[in-house]
Structure 1
Amino acid sequence: MASLEPLPVFTTYIKDELEPFDPELLCLIASDDDGDNAIPMGEDDCYTKVVDDFAPLNPSSTPTGVDAFDPGFSNLEVEDLMNLLVPEHARVPLFRSQSCPTPTKKIGKRTKKCTYAARRREVAFLRKETVALEKRLNDLRSHCEASSLEREQAAMEKSGLAATQAENARLRAMVSSQEAKIRKADAYMSSRQHALLLLVHKCVVLQERMQMYDANGVAILSNMVQNGATFVTQLYALECLVWATFDDSKLSEPEFKVLAESVRDATLQELSEFVDVLQHGSEQEKEDTAVLCAAIVSRGQRDAMRDVGVVPPLVELLRNGTVLQKRWASEVLGTLACGSSDTNRVAIARDGAISPLVAILRAGPDVAKLNATAALGNVAFESSANATAIVEEGAISPLVALLRTGTDKQKQQATSTLGILAYRNREHCGAIATEGGISVLVGLLQTGSAVQKQYAAATLGILTVNGALCEVIVLEGAIPLLVALLRADTSEQKIEAAAALGNLAVNNDRNQAAIAREGAIPPLVALTRTGTEAQRTNATYALTHLGKNDANAAAIERERERIARRRPLRHSRFEM
């Protein structure tokens, strides 16, 4: 968060509006008004020596001032000259001593005439200078009187400036206090974001998520998504809730959708910056940005992420990234491939993501295998070309290996991905059977979780499209396990089991008899009456093919009549 701009600093400097004075002129202003102390000033207001402005009559003399002016004159002549400079009202009579020495040098008439002419010129010049100096002195005195008012105004301004400076200091202290609070808030938000990022990484592990749920984590994270102080905080909290919704069923999908819609869309500039960090950031920055990208695509901005070019740097992370970078890159690509739009799936395959995803299945880190499996399934969804490319890269063998030794989530996702690959191309069914996938899938029907049983039944139902594999499935003991799913608690298991049994019964009398012998007809008939639309559809499909066996047809009719004769019980209080 940007800090406030500092307030302007008021300077204490006051510019003197008076024209500049020479220091000697300031002394002159402070002195008495006696004109005898006047110092000659030039036209440029600078101190000058009058005598130095013209050359002496006697070239051999070197005068230094009026008192020392001696161009060959006598002392009496100098006194007469100086007396001329004194104002007439202040002129005093001169008493010449009879003992004053006279020039020893005899001066001729011609020389004396020239000397007095020069003397008159000098006297006229000095009088002119005196007038100029008096005028200058008067100007300075009037200026001095006017400046006293200016000094008073300056004093008032200085007082106001002092008050302003005090207010400025108070405001600066207030700003400093606010900046300290902002820094503290920034540090708090930074620590909060860091804590949320750590929580995101912990949520990768199921046991850690269970601890979070026990600590009321869903409610806390939901509040952060809706009321988070920063965009990043909201995204991190939302990413934590992805597991709670789609993996652990702690939050319903409609509730998650409402929370996701409460977070604003990332701007085009922000998305472009994310791509730049994925390409040129540090290893930690790439990892953190991949987490943000995962949250953004989870809330629905998939096409926007694709348009800014996020796929190529993510593919590069799949190839050469760290363990966690591969984990998050595969999740982002897998989520990008979700949805009805095939554009993202085409872009992911075109930019070369299939090969590194399959490589992760073979020898990648365990934390990345689950997301790589999901990404491959989503990329193959509704794309036969992508499904074929995945199989050609050798994905079936590591997928079957996950069915055997993977975690519960890995088994679940591998089952789904194998079903998608088989659905997009029937030739892939044989490759799955060759790798031993059928026996593992049948085993999940018996020992797997509810979702694993659902996905295994669906995948086996797809494999039964290949008639040659139906016998293998039956020999592995799938029929009683599928019939048991017809009585299961989950609707999805019933749907998939009915479809698989119907496929096994198609044009196969032995399978039809075996299915009826395992007691499939009563639950199938019940589903046609009380099941959901999908359950009724699949149950009707299975009964249609089972009824092609005469014994089964009779059994189906008897079960329908038995249910029809069944009348609802009435309580005695409501009988008329």
Structure 2
Amino acid sequence: IAQAGAIAPLVTLVQSGTDGQKEQAAATLGNLAAYVENQVLIAQAGAIAPLVTLVQSGTDGQKEQAAKALRRLAMNAENKVVIAQAGAIAPLVTLLQSGTAGQKEQAAGALGNLALNAENQVSIAQAGAIALLVTLVQSGTDGQKEYAAGALANLAINAEYQVLIARAGAISPLVTLVQSGTDGQKEQAAGALRRLAMIAENKVLIAQAGAIAPLATLVQSGTDGQKELAAATLWNLAANAENKVLIAQAGAISPLVTLVQSGTDGQKEQAAGALRRLAMIAENKVLIAQAGAIAPLVTLVQSGTAGQKERAAGALWNLAANAEYQVLIAQAGAIAPLVTLVQSGTDGQKEQAAAALRNLAINAENQVLIAQAGAIAPLVTLVQSGTAGQKEYAADALRNLACNDENEVLIVQAGAIAPLVTLVQSGTDGQKEYAADALANLAINAENEVLIVQAGAIAPLVTLVQSGTDGQKEQAAGTLGNLAGNDENKVLIAQAGAIAPLVTLVQSGTAGQKEHAAGALRNLAFKNAENQVLIAQA
């Protein structure tokens, strides 16, 4: 029909035909607009302005058909802008309020598509659509509920509206749709809850409204779209500590693992993200591993999409806080692909993979395997020039790897000392603590004691002992203690003013601080008469 040249005369009828012609022409354009290319052609033919006029002041039939046509035309990004500029939003919101059943349905759908544009989100909300859409979700027809839930999902891309939509009472009826709606309603409602669950307050409200169990059901037995959106919603909800427990209790872990194994690409990514967060608590680590998650997560790290790799690496990071799983993850072949991500992944992949290697490197055998897989050089590169998170996790990974004597040598040969000292001087709190501890482990080696001091480590370590966080004080005291195994370093450490703050830690520090500070003072005093006097005087 479009190829036969029908679009232009149909637009003419919408503009200047009889009432019946206008309605039928609008309906025909709506049907033609189901085809993507026609959405462009219809807009180019000038249809949008007269369709908006029908929505404003046409007969009931014209309003419904014009709203339907605009709904389909608004699936095109450029058309979203043109439709809004033509003044469609206000009359569409009016239809939500006082239109016929069909008009309300089509208007909700049109506003939902328009709401994928950021400026339109603001215009739609300011026109008073949120409360009206919530009413449709609560008590509308099946079609109204589906389109209204979808519109709320798109409006909730805006963080401000995540709050307003919840306050308008949307959460409870959306949960009802997830529980007992049609397939389309379930999918749209899950999508809306996913977005609403991005803020802390709503995570609690959504769980209290009973959403977790039906979301777990969708993950298990929903359509493909429902599974993906439900997994994504659980991922967002699992940022809340109590929800981590509730999601596991609702039986979500096993079906999430199934999605990681055999879902679509989107399902795999969302499920891996959910498991990553769920694995932050000890009980869930066990349940996730028992459900068989480790092998498919490793597969995603090896050969998944960019998003899958990042989420799966993060899940392995959290699972690897468990000593038993450090072994199982390594046996499943995770180390080599994690090292590859550290070397050449995206920023997010590098950070998650470095964190996973950090936990895996708590295990002595893994320390050897990780070094053999070539991890040390790229970890040093991250310490040197990575993002804030990459620097922190890479420094901590090197700290754990440096518990192995051979690795101590390799880490220094890779040039780690200077960037670690830089982190101690000017890094974030976490970077300072982990870098200080990494230097402590490296300083067990006599040659490294000299190199670390030559890199300028003493002064910033003393600063940490004086005024750092509790963790920084403890680790810096331990590092100074190891450096003080060298006779020249004993003198330099004392000259840098370390003795007084070390004595303060012995007097009033935490248990760990007292232990490390006492060890440092012991080494400083060993065969050094001047330091013995200074320590006594302090």
Q: TM-score, normalised by structure 1?
A: 0.57
2:324 alignment counterpart? 385
Once residues 272 and 310 of structure 1 are traced to their aligned partners in structure 2, the CA distance between those partners, rounded to angstroms, is: 8
Q: Which residue matches 2:305? A: 365
- Compute the displacement of 1:241 (Å): 8.1
Structure-2 residue corresponding to 1:194: 150
User: Does the 8 Å contact 2:136/2:148 carry over to 1?
Assistant: no
Q: Is the 8 A contact 1:298 1:335 kept in 2?
A: yes
Pair 520,196 (structure 1): closer, same or farther in 2 beyond 3 Å: farther
Equivalent residue, structure 2, for 1:336 = 278
Q: How does 1:456-475 map to 2 (within 5 A)?
A: 456-475=394-413
Alignment of 1:303 onto 2:241: no
Across the two proteins, how many residue pairs are aligned to each other? Answer: 357
Q: Deviation of residue 194 (structure 1)?
A: 2.3
What's the offset of the Cα at 1:534?
A: 1.4
The residue correspondences of 1:75-224 to structure 2 (distance < 5 A) are 183=136, 186=140, 190-191=146-147, 193-195=149-151, 197=153, 217-224=158-165
Cα deviations across residues 73-116 of structure 1 (Å, max 9, x unaligned)? xxxxxxxxxxxxxxxxxxxxxxxxxxxxxxxxxxxxxxxxxxxx
Assess if the C-alpha contact under 8 Å between 1:318 and 1:329 holds in 2. yes
In 1, distance between residues paired with 2:354 and 2:237?
Answer: 27
The secondary structure found in structure 2 opposite 1:560 is coil
Displacement of 1:544: 0.8
CA distance in structure 2 between the aligned counterparts of 1:421 and 1:199, rounded to whole angstroms: 42
| CA radius of gyration, larger in | 1
1:386 counterpart SS class: helix
Q: Name the counterpart of 1:482.
A: 420
Query: What is the rounded CA distance, in whole Å, between the counterparts of 1:561 and 1:386 in structure 2?
Result: 40
* Structure 2 unpaired stretches of 5+: 1-97, 105-131, 176-188, 502-538
Is the aligned partner of 1:405 residue 2:344?
A: yes
What code does the residue aligned with 1:540 have?
A
Equivalence map 1:257-268=2 (5 Å): 257-258=200-201, 260-267=203-210
Q: Which amino acid aligns with 2:297?
A: L
Indicate conservation of the 8 Å contact 2:137/2:148, yes or no.
Answer: no
Alignment root-mean-square deviation, CA: 3.1
Residue equivalent to 1:325: 267
Mapped contact 1:235–1:295 kept (Cα < 8 A): no
Contact 1:226 1:263 in 2 (8 A): no
Q: Provide closer, same or farther for how the CA distance between residues 318 and 454 of structure 1 changes in structure 2, counting only shifts above 3 A.
A: same
Structure 1 residues 236 and 535: alpha-carbon distance in aligned structure 2, compared to 1, 3 A threshold? farther
Equivalent-residue separation in structure 2 for 1:301 and 1:239 (angstroms): 14
Q: Could you say which residue in structure 2 is the equivalent of 1:503?
A: 441
Asked if residue 541 in structure 1 is aligned to residue 486 in structure 2, the reply is no
Contact in 2 for aligned 1:524/1:539 (Cα 8 Å): yes
Cα displacement (A) at 1:239: 5.0
Mapped partners of 1:464, 1:191: distance in 2? 57
Residue of structure 1 in register with 2:285 after alignment: 345
SS in 1 for 2:456: coil
CA contact (8 A) 1:369 1:410 kept: yes
Deviations 1:221-274 (A, max 9, x none): 34445555224499867855887xxxxxxxxxxxx545544545253xx54433
CA contact (8 A) 2:300 2:309 kept: yes
The alpha-carbon distance between structure 1 residues 399 and 228, as it changes in their structure 2 partners (threshold 3 A), is: farther
The residue that corresponds to 2:356 in the other structure is 417
SS in 2 for 1:389: helix
> Which residue of 255, 262, 281 corresponds with 2:222?
281
Please name the residue that 1:84 is paired with: none
CA distance in 2, matches of 1:367, 1:261: 27
Equivalent pair of 2:166/2:196 in contact (CA under 8 Å): no
The verdict on how the C-alpha distance between 1:475 and 1:184 changes in structure 2, with shifts beyond 3 A counting, is: closer
Q: Which amino acid aligns with 1:194?
A: G
Q: Distance in 1 between matches of 2:425 and 2:190?
A: 41
**CA distance 1:522–1:324, shift in 2 (3 Å):** same
Q: Is the 8 A contact 1:495 1:538 kept in 2?
A: yes
- Residue range with higher mean Cα deviation, 281-290 or 394-403: 281-290
Does the CA-based 8 Å contact 1:196-1:236 persist in structure 2?
A: no
Give the residue type in structure 1 aligned to 2:266. L
In structure 2, how many angstroms separate the alpha carbons of the residues matched to 1:307 and 1:538?
Answer: 39
SS for the counterpart of 1:548 is: coil
1:426 to 343, 364, 368: 364
Q: 1:521-568, CA deviations, whole angstroms, 9 ceiling, x for partnerless residues?
A: 11111111121211111111111111111111101111108999xxxx
Kindly report which structure 2 residues correspond to 1:207-246, keeping only aligned pairs within 5 A, or say none.
217-231=158-172, 232=174, 239-240=194-195
Which residue identity is paired with 1:315?
Answer: V
Secondary structure at 1:357 match in 2: helix
Change (3 A) 1:189 1:519: farther
Indicate the residue corresponding to 1:395 in structure 2.
Answer: 334
Q: Distance in 1 between matches of 2:196 and 2:383?
A: 29
SS in 1 for 2:461: helix
Give the AA of the match of 2:254.
P
Q: Distance in 1 between matches of 2:164 and 2:469?
A: 36
Mapped partners of 1:456, 1:241: distance in 2: 34
Say yes or no: does 1:452 pair with 2:390: yes
2:150 counterpart letter in structure 1: H
Q: What is the TM-score with the length of structure 2 in the denominator?
A: 0.61
- The aligned counterpart of 2:490 is 553
Deviation at 1:420, TM superposition (A): 0.5
More helix by share: 2
Identity %: 34
Deviation of 1:330 after TM superposition, in Å, equals 0.8
Stretches of structure 1 lacking an aligned partner (at least 5 in a row): 1-173, 201-211, 244-255, 565-576
1:355, 1:195 → 2: CA distance?
39
C-alpha change, 1:458 and 1:222, in structure 2 (3 Å) is farther
Shift of 1:404: 1.4
Structure 2 SS opposite 1:298: coil
Where relative contact order (Cα < 8 A, 6+ residues apart) is larger, the structure is: 1
Residue 285 of structure 1: CA displacement?
1.7
Instruction: Give the superposition deviation at 1:350.
Output: 0.8
Q: Is the 8 A contact 2:342 2:349 kept in 1?
A: yes
Change (3 A) 1:518 1:239: farther
Asked if the contact 2:446–2:486 (Cα under 8 Å) also holds between the matched residues in 1, the reply is yes
Question: After superposition, what is the alpha-carbon deviation per residue over 1:50-92, rounded to whole angstroms, capped at 9, x for unaligned?
Answer: xxxxxxxxxxxxxxxxxxxxxxxxxxxxxxxxxxxxxxxxxxx
8 Å Cα contact 1:374-1:417 kept in structure 2: yes
- Residue identity opposite 1:400 in structure 2: V
